[in-house]
Amino acid sequence: MFFPYYFDPTMIILIPALILAMYAQFKVKSTYGKYSQVISRNGLTGAEVARELLRQNGIYNVTVHQIGGHLTDHYDPTRRVVNLSPQVYGSSSLAAIGVAAHEVGHAIQDALNYRPLKIRASLVPAANIGSSWGIPLALIGFFMNSQFMMNLGLVLFVGALLFHLVTLPVEFNASNRAIALLDRGRYLSRQELGGAKKVLRAAAFTYVAATLVALANLLRILMLIGIRRDD
Ligand SMILES: [Zn+2]
């Protein structure tokens, strides 16, 4: 089957969301790049800050590891590990300390059984299926004139959108915790804290952009269904 994309007029609504997502990626890379050059006066590395913050919050069953890659930092709730990229693990930059504290924020969410984190974890399978099958099924259904396939694509894609939506409070909450912890523990001065905040805000913006792309895709599916219904 060959369906050139320009036959699908709903592609248009994706364009602004995709431009925003590209801008968000550019912004996070440039902000991270800028503040990974600014070394904190405190001199502690990302790994050291992460370990101290975990201990201060009474979390002793979470370890801090170094993993490969760039901007690959994440908290692994199944193994209870704060995974930090080399640029964060061994660096004392404002970006490194901000990111390390953010990942500790996720570990604290896990320890407190923070509800959105649990919901997000339970949505991972639905999100994987929905993001890979939702749009293709809706498009195939559109060209084959099958309402059933289009509706199935819609339902699957809603799973992916829900995942993006619930990711937002999880990420914002982890960053707010990070900033509060760094401030309270005097890890960074007020001025330094501003830099760390900018890095975390730029990272959060990429999640907002990804949610808007998912929302635009959902609108696309609804439009495809609407076009066929009017035929
Ligand atoms: Zn995060």
DSSP calls for the chain: ----GGG-GGGGGHHHHHHHHHHHHHHHHHHHHHHTSSB-SS---HHHHHHHHHHHTT--S-EEEE-SSSS--EEETTTTEEEE-HHHHT--BHHHHHHHHHHHHHHHHHHTT-HHHHHHHHHHHHHHHHHHHHHHHHHHHHHHT-HHHHHHHHHHHHHHHHHHHHHHHHHHHHHHHHHHHHHHTTSS-HHHHHHHHHHHHHHHHHHHHHHHHHHHHHHHHHHHHHHHHH-
| Domain count within the chain | 1
pLDDT over 90 at 198, yes or no: yes
Q: What is the whole-number distance in angstroms between the Cα of residue 201 and the centre of ligand 1?
A: 11
> Predicted confidence band at 1 (pLDDT cuts at 50, 70, 90)?
very low
Q: What is the whole-number distance in angstroms between the Cα of residue 189 and the centre of ligand 1?
A: 23
Give the pLDDT score at 58: 96
* pTM attached to this predicted model: 0.91
Give the pLDDT score at 5: 52
Distance CA 119, CA 160 (A): 13
Helices (H), 145-189: 147-184
Q: What is the whole-number distance in angstroms between the Cα of residue 103 and the centre of ligand 1?
A: 6
Q: What is the whole-number distance in angstroms between the Cα of residue 11 and the centre of ligand 1?
A: 30
Which residues carry out catalysis? 103
Contact call for residues 171 and 38 (beta carbons, < 8 A): no
What is the domain range of residue 192?
5-230
CA atoms 3, 6, 12, 18: torsion sign: positive
Residues pairing with 66 in the sheet: 84
pLDDT tens-digit readout, 136-168? 999 999 989 999 999 999 999 999 999 999 999
pLDDT tens-digit readout, 81-134? 999 999 999 999 999 999 999 999 999 999 999 999 999 999 999 999 999 999
